[in-house]
Structure 1
Amino acid sequence: MVSLGYFLSCEEFGPKELVRQAKMAADAGFERLWISDHFHPWNDEQGQSPFVWSVIGALSEAVDLPVTTAVTCPTVRTHPAIIAQAAATAAEQLAGRFVLGVGSGEALNEHILGDPWPPADVRLAMLEEAVEVIRKLHGGGLVNHHGRHYTVEGARIYTCPDEPVPIYLSGFGPKATDLAGRIADGYMSTMPDADLVRRFRDAGGGAKPAQGGMKVCHAGTADEGLATAHRLWPNTVLPGDLAQILPQPRNFADASALVTRDMMAGTLPVGPDPEPYRETLKSYVDAGFDEVYVAQIGPRQDEFFEFWRTKVA
């Protein structure tokens, strides 16, 4: 049986609103939460980007749902030792219901300290070493690590859960998916791609959990839903490596000016008809995902949860 979760968008909403949405998600029957981890939104139209670890602390007091970061980049902007401490605290706050979702990141968030943005193969090597560092620190005791990318000197995390925090890895291409199968406790993607899920399992993931995320835009009409999705999230259909290499929200806005409303039509469920939502959800189920997280784009959050509870779920 697939478990359904709600995807909290830190790019669109401030911390208090995210907590409110989490409560509504629980009331609507969603069983778990994803939450994005960004320094910048993708574009200024989205308009928010609170510090995810503060929000997670608030969520731990507001709801009893499991939480996964979707996703944290533990390589450039934030040293993996700091992420290890943050994740350990989150796991304590959530009484073991926390999963650290990690990925190789985007220049959008990681360039801010002036560090160079490495090529993809180097970013994956950094991510693999970062996961190693985090797991060492979650194992308890004093940690010294002298690796190719990271140094840790005499560090120990004192507030640490009894069990290591599960680490899931995001993969949108074969190399990242193979890495997830080899080192991660689970897999994450925003595409209903059965081949990638299969690749994760064949690369060593086996029966480990696979999480998938989908965006929707419930609205009074399909045209309104598409217009809202196009205004806020045109970056989702940008081609190639642009999502990884563009450094500023304004660069995404410039590139997204080439994305027409027609280009977004059919890429996500919109409007009042529940059937496209069911069909999209089924595509993730058929692809082999164990958990599916749904993000409602735009301001109609209250209406969405009522719609999902009464018409879709």
Structure 2
Amino acid sequence: MTRFGYTMLTEQAGPKDLVAHVVRAEEAGFDFSVMSDHYFPWLDEQGHAPYAWSVLGAAAQATTRIPLMTYVTCPTMRYHPAVVAQKAATLQLLSDGRFRLGLGSGENLNEHVVGGGWPSVDVRHEMLAEAVEIIRALFEGGYVNRRGGHFGVESAKLWDLPDRPPPIGIAASGARSCELAGRLADLLIATDPDAGLLGAFDEHGGAGKPRVGQLPVCYDTDRDAAVRRAHEQFRWFGGGWKVNSELPGTAAFAAASAPVRPEDVARAIPCGDDPDAFVAAVRPYAEAGFTEIALVQVGGDTQAAFLDWAEKTLLPALREL
């Protein structure tokens, strides 16, 4: 059975609101939650970027049932993998085993802030693979010493370890990342309903493992208002990973998405309050083989209304899939 999740999007809400939203999502009956981990929003109009790990710690204490997950953390530049391992182990303890560690190779938008430059994609994949190996070694307990091609670890040890380490997910968008995910991850993360990605994941060891998708939606009783809001805040979405991972800041995203029209966004993102339109947008993910699908409601100040509608109307409709 497909599970449906709620996204805490750090780009469009402050830390206290994000915690309140996931508490309500738990009450509404969502099966899991995911959270972005960015230093910047994609567009100035979104207006937020709190520190995800502090918010996740608060969310772990404010909720009791709903699973939590990073979607995704880059463990190679802003954060050293040894620090990511410590954060993830701590959050697994705080949440009583409800945390999953979603990892990816990062975006220039967020990683440039530490002044290390932006590597080519093949180097980023090498760094990610090495980082996952370090994190898993630390999850096993004991001291870890590594001298790899990209990271050094000297006598590192996690002193507070959960009985069950957090499962690790890897974000994939192409052949190389699918190979990494199949070989190194406990689950696949992807944002496109591409059955080919899932097949490549299976070929490299992913068969039988969960695969988590995500898509934006824009609920509003006024469909025109929903389209305007989706265009204002999510017109960057259609650029695709190969473009979006390279852009360095909000001005670049604004320029790249300048030709995008409201009607273009409305074709890609279900807008309004017709549950059939939302179910139709979700269906390709279910048919491709995603076992979990997380929804992103566009607009930080619309979450309460969306969650009320989701509880009463959308989730029952989705469960008919």
Return the offset for 1:169: 0.3
* Aligned match of 1:258: 259
Aligned AA (1:304)? F
Contact residue 69 and residue 101 of structure 2 kept, 8 A: yes
Encode CA deviations 1:107-134: one digit per residue, 9 max, x unaligned: 0000111102111111001000000011
What stretches of structure 1 of length at least 5 have no aligned partner?
none
Distance 1:145 1:100 in 2: 21
Provide the residue aligned with 1:38 in structure 2: 38
TM-score of the aligned structures, taking structure 2 as reference length: 0.95
Q: For 1:87-102, what aligned pairs fall within 5 Å after superposition?
A: 87-102=88-103
The equivalent of 2:184 in structure 1 is: 183
Alignment of 1:300 onto 2:320: no
Q: Partner letter of residue 161 of structure 1?
A: P
1:158–1:240 distance in 2 versus 1, CA, 3 Å: closer
Aligned to 1:265, the other structure's residue is in SS state helix
Match of 1:25 in 2: 25
Q: What is the DSSP-based 3-state SS (H/G/I as helix, E as strand, rest coil) of the residue aligned with 1:148?
A: coil
Partner of residue 162, structure 2: 161
- Amino acid aligned to 2:54: S
Q: Who is 2:284 aligned against?
A: 283
Q: CA deviation at 1:164?
A: 2.2
Distance in 2, Cα, partners of 1:221 & 1:193: 31
**Separation of aligned partners in 2, 1:256 and 1:15:** 27
More deviation, 46-55/297-306: 297-306
Q: Give the superposition deviation at 1:241.
A: 2.4
1:15 aligns with 2:19: no
Cα offset for 1:279? 1.2
- CA–CA distance in structure 1, aligned partners of residues 242 and 189 of structure 2: 18
1:72-111 matches, within 5 Å, as: 72-111=73-112
What CA distance in whole angstroms lies between the structure 1 residues aligned with 2:144 and 2:160? Answer: 15
In 2, Cα distance between equivalents of 1:281 and 1:239:
19
Sequence identity of aligned pairs in percent? 42
Cα distance change, pair 207–239 in 1 and its aligned pair in 2 (3 A): closer
Q: How does 1:134-145 map to 2 (within 5 A)?
A: 134-145=135-146
Counting only pairs closer than 5 Å after superposition, residues 127-276 of structure 1 correspond to structure 2 as: 127-239=128-240, 241-276=242-277
Mapped partners of 1:42, 1:76: distance in 2: 19
Aligned mates of 2:270, 2:222 — CA distance in 1: 11
1:222 shift after superposition: 2.3
**How far apart, CA to CA, are the structure 2 residues paired with 1:260 and 1:4?**
29
User: Residues 240 and 161 from structure 1, CA distance in 2 versus in 1: closer, same or farther, beyond 3 angstroms?
Assistant: closer
Q: CA deviation at 1:258?
A: 2.0
Give the secondary-structure state (helix, strand or coil) at the position aligned to 2:272: coil
Matched-pair contact (CA < 8 Å) for 1:72–1:101: yes
List per-residue Cα deviations over 1:163-208 (Å, max 9, x = no partner).
2221100001121112111111100111111121122112210101
Q: Which stretch has the larger CA shift, 30-39 or 264-273?
A: 264-273
Tell me if structure 2 keeps the 8 A contact 1:238–1:259: no
Are 1:61 and 2:52 counterparts?
no
How far apart in 2 are the matches of 1:12 and 1:141? 40
- Aligned residue for 2:214, secondary structure, equals strand
Total equivalences in the alignment:
313
Instruction: Provide the rounded CA distance (Å) in 2 between the counterparts of 1:188 and 1:42.
Output: 20
Q: Which amino acid aligns with 1:209?
A: P
Please give the per-residue CA displacement for 1:54-100, whole angstroms capped at 9, x wherever unaligned.
00110111112111100000011111011111111111111111110
Cα deviation for residue 240 of structure 1 reads 6.3
Residue identity opposite 2:302 in structure 1: R
Distance 1:239 1:98 in 2: 28
Provide the C-alpha distance between the structure 2 equivalents of 1:173 and 1:236, rounded to a whole number of angstroms.
18
Q: CA deviation at 1:239?
A: 4.7
**1:197-230 residue CA offsets vs partner (Å, 9 max, x unmatched):** 1221122101011001111000123222111011
1:242 is displaced (CA, Å) by: 2.1
Q: Does 1:121 align with 2:122?
A: yes
Structure 2 unaligned regions, length at least 5 = 316-321
